[in-house]
C-alpha cells in the first residue's frame, strides 16, 4: 500500500488560457477502488496523463506507485496481429498465464488470443485489454471509461470483474458501474477537489445535503447583509444630519443652543460614524463568509426540445423483417416485428453486433426513400451517416409514415472537424442559439474558439446532442448518445426528456437512464 500525494498542482495546456488545475492538493491511497467524477472537460483524463508523466506541470506529485493505463493504444499496423502477439507490446513483462487467468474471470474464451485483433468485437477488445492491464502484480491502474460502447451483458461482466479488484482509479459516468465497483470518490467540483469514502450514490446524497446547507447559509448571510445595510444607511443619515447642525442655528427656535454646543455635536457625530464603520466591518465579514458557499453548486439549466406532432399515430411498422450484409454467414436481424407510436420512448437492447445500429440505419434510409421524391431528403435532419452507401439485403416489411422528420444522433463523432461556425452553417443551425445550448450543457465559452477535433469525446457528444435538441422533429433517433457524457449532463437530459416526452428510438446501455426514460424495451 502506498499513497499518491498531490501538492499545489497547477496545469494548463500550452497556448491556452484555460487553467485545468490551479494550486490543488490532495492525497489518495493506492489500495482504494477510486471513482473519478467530474464534468466533461474538467481534466479527468488530463490528470491521468499527469500521473503517467506525459505532461509537464507545476507543483508536485509524489508516490512510489507504478502506473499502467487503460485503454492501450493499438496502432493500425498492429491490428492484423493476434492478441497473443500483442501482449508484450501492450504491457512490458506481461505473462501469458496471468492473462489466461484474467480472461477466465472476464468470462472470455482463450481463443480470442489467437484471432487478429481487428476481428474482435469492441467488447472483446476491451476485455482483452483489461485482462492484460490486471495481469501485473503491483501496478496502480488508471482505467479511463471502460464501458463505452459495451452492451449490457458485457457491462455486467466488467462490473463484477472490477468489483473483485482493488488498486485503481476508475473514470466513468456510468452511475450503476460506479456504485458497484468503488469504495472512494475523487471529485472535480466546479471550483474545488474533494476526496471522500463511499460510492457514487453516497457521495451524491452527501452533496445534496451539503448543497442544501450552503444555499440556506447563503440566504441567511444575504438577509443579514441586507439588514445591516439598512441600519448602516439609517445611522449614516443621522450622522450627516447631526453634522449639518454644527454651524449656524436659529437663536429664537433653538434658544437652548450656543456656539459651545459644537463640540458636543461633533463628539456625537463621531460616535455615530464609528457605529457606521463597525457595521461596515460586520457587512464585510458576512460577505466574506458568504463567498464560496455556492461555488460548487450544480444548477443545470432546463433544456428545451422542439418536437413536432405527426398526424399519424403509428410512425413505424416492422413485420417479419430481416437484414443481412453481403457475404455474411447469418442475417444480422431475423423476423423482427415491432411498431413505434407517437409519445413512445423505445429502447433497443441486446449484445454488441445484434443489429441495433443496423436497424437504425435501415430506418433512416427507408425514411429518406419514402419522402425523397417531394421533400429533397429534408426529412432526415442531422444527417451524419451516408445512407446512399448502406446497402444490406432486406426482406419483410418496414413501413415509415410519409412526412416524418427525424433528428439523428450518431454514436460516431470522428467526422467532427473545424469550427462551431462551420458546423452550424453546414447543419443550418443558428450559431448563437447553438452556443447557448452548449453553455446550458456546461461547455465553457473558451471551447467555442477551438476546432471540434480538439474537443474531448464528451464535448463532441454534446455538440451532436445540442444540434438534435435544436432540430424540430417528429422522431428523435439517438444511437448511444451518452457515451463519454458526464453524470450531471445525463441527469439534465433525463429531466428534459421526461418534461417534453418526445417520441424517441434509442440505443443506450446506461441502466439508470433506461429505467427512468424507457416506455418500451425491445430486446434484439
Q: pLDDT tens-digit profile of 411-421?
A: 888 889 999 99
Three-state DSSP string of 57-123: CEEEEECCCCEEEECCCCCHHHCCCEHHHHHHHHCCCCCHHHHHHHHHHCCCCHHHHHCEHHHCCHH
Task: For 251-276, give the DSSP string.
Answer: TTTTTT--GGGHHHHHHHHHHHHHHH
Answer whether residue 83 shows pLDDT above 80.
Answer: yes
Task: For 221-254, give the DSSP string.
Answer: HHHHHHHHHHHHHHHHHHHHHHHHTSS---TTTT
Answer whether residue 267 shows pLDDT above 60.
Answer: yes
Which pLDDT score is estimated for 238? 72
Which pLDDT score is estimated for 212? 86
Residues 6+ apart with CB under 8 A from 219: none
Calculate mean pLDDT across residues 131-159: 89
User: Angle, nearest 10°, between helix axes 122-133 and 83-90?
Assistant: 50
Which pLDDT score is estimated for 255? 56
Which pLDDT score is estimated for 376? 43
CATH T-level fold of 314-523? Rossmann fold (3.40.50)
**Which of these, 450, 390, 382, lies nearest to 412 by C-alpha position?**
382
Which pLDDT score is estimated for 375? 42
SS3 9: strand
Answer whether residue 153 shows pLDDT above 90.
Answer: no
Which pLDDT score is estimated for 399? 93
* CA–CA dist 488, 441 (Å, integer): 9
Task: Determine what percent of the chain is predicted with pLDDT higher than 90.
Answer: 51
pLDDT digits (tens, 9 = 90+) for 387-413: 677 888 889 999 999 999 999 999 888
Assign domain 3-207 to its CATH architecture: 3-Layer(aba) Sandwich (3.40)
Q: Compute CA distances 504 → 166, 191, 307, 316, whole Å.
A: 39, 36, 10, 11
pLDDT digits (tens, 9 = 90+) for 160-186: 999 999 999 999 999 999 999 999 999
* CA–CA dist 459, 478 (Å, integer): 16
Choose the most confident range, by mean pLDDT, from 286-290, 336-340, 380-384, 424-428.
Answer: 336-340
Residues 6+ apart with CB under 8 A from 4: 27, 28, 29, 30, 51, 61, 62, 63, 65, 140
Q: In the numeric block, which cell numbers belong to residue 348?
A: 433497443
Q: In the numeric block, which cell numbers belong to residue 222?
A: 444575504
Answer whether residue 213 shows pLDDT above 80.
Answer: yes
Which pLDDT score is estimated for 275? 75
Average pLDDT in the chain: 86
CA atoms within 13 A on the CB side of 392: 23
Chain mean position to CA 377: 33
pLDDT digits (tens, 9 = 90+) for 275-287: 777 777 777 776 6
Higher pLDDT, 237 or 104: 104
SS3 389: helix
pLDDT digits (tens, 9 = 90+) for 13-59: 876 667 788 899 999 999 999 999 988 878 898 999 999 999 899 99
Amino acid at each position: 500500500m502506498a499513497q499518491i500525494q498531490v501538492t499545489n498542482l497547477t496545469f494548463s495546456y500550452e497556448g491556452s488560457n484555460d487553467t485545468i488545475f490551479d494550486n490543488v492538493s490532495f492525497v489518495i491511497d493506492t489500495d482504494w477502488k477510486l471513482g473519478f467524477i467530474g464534468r466533461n472537460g474538467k481534466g479527468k483524463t488530463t490528470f491521468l496523463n499527469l500521473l503517467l508523466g506525459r505532461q509537464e506541470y507545476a507543483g508536485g506529485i509524489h508516490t512510489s506507485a507504478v502506473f499502467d493505463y487503460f485503454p492501450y493504444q493499438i496502432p493500425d499496423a498492429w491490428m492484423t496481429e493476434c492478441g497473443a502477439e500483442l501482449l508484450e507490446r501492450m504491457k512490458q513483462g506481461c505473462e501469458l498465464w496471468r492473462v489466461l487467468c484474467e480472461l477466465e474471470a472476464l468470462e472470455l474464451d482463450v481463443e480470442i488470443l489467437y484471432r487478429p485483433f481487428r476481428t474482435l468485437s469492441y467488447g472483446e477488445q476491451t476485455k482483452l485489454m483489461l485482462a492484460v492491464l490486471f495481469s501485473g502484480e503491483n501496478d496502480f491502474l488508471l482505467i479511463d471509461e471502460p464501458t463505452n460502447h459495451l452492451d449490457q451483458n458485457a457491462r455486467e461482466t466488467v462490473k463484477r470483474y472490477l468489483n473483485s479488484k482493488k488498486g485503481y482509479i476508475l473514470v466513468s459516468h456510468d452511475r450503476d458501474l460506479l456504485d458497484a465497483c468503488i469504495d472512494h470518490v475523487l471529485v472535480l467540483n466546479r471550483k474545488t477537489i474533494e476526496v471522500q469514502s463511499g460510492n457514487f450514490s453516497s457521495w451524491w446524497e452527501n452533496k445534496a445535503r451539503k448543497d442544501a446547507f450552503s444555499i440556506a447559509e447563503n440566504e441567511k448571510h444575504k438577509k443579514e447583509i441586507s439588514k445591516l445595510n439598512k441600519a448602516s444607511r439609517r445611522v449614516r443619515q443621522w450622522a450627516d444630519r447631526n453634522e449639518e447642525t454644527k454651524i449656524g442655528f436659529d437663536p429664537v427656535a433653538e434658544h437652548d443652543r450656543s456656539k459651545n454646543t459644537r463640540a458636543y455635536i461633533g463628539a456625537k457625530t463621531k460616535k455615530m460614524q464609528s457605529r457606521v464603520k463597525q457595521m461596515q466591518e460586520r457587512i464585510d465579514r458576512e460577505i466574506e463568509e458568504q463567498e464560496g458557499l455556492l461555488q460548487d453548486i450544480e444548477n443545470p439549466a432546463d433544456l428545451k426540445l422542439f418536437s413536432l406532432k405527426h398526424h399519424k399515430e403509428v410512425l413505424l411498422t416492422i413485420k417479419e423483417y430481416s437484414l443481412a450484409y453481403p457475404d455474411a454467414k447469418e442475417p444480422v436481424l431475423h423476423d423482427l416485428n415491432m411498431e413505434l407510436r407517437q409519445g413512445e420512448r423505445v429502447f433497443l437492447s441486446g449484445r454488441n453486433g445484434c443489429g441495433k445500429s443496423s436497424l437504425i440505419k435501415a430506418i433512416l434510409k427507408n425514411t429518406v426513400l419514402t419522402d425523397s421524391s417531394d421533400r429533397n431528403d429534408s426529412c432526415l435532419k442531422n444527417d451524419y451517416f451516408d445512407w446512399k452507401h448502406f446497402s444490406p439485403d432486406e426482406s419483410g416489411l418496414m413501413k415509415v409514415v410519409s412526412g416524418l422528420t427525424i433528428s439523428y444522433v450518431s454514436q460516431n463523432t470522428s467526422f467532427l472537424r473545424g469550427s462551431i461556425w462551420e458546423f452550424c452553417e453546414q447543419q443550418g443551425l443558428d450559431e448563437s442559439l447553438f452556443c447557448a445550448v452548449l453553455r446550458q450543457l456546461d461547455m465553457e465559452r473558451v471551447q467555442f474558439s477551438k476546432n471540434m477535433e480538439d474537443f474531448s469525446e464528451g464535448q463532441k457528444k454534446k455538440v451532436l446532442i445540442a444540434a438534435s435538441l435544436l432540430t424540430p422533429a417528429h422522431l428523435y433517433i439517438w444511437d448511444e448518445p451518452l457515451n463519454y457524457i458526464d453524470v450531471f449532463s445525463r441527469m439534465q437530459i433525463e429531466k428534459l426528456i421526461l418534461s417534453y416526452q418526445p417520441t424517441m428510438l434509442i440505443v443506450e446501455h446506461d441502466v439508470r437512464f433506461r429505467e427512468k426514460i424507457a416506455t418500451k424495451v425491445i430486446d434484439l
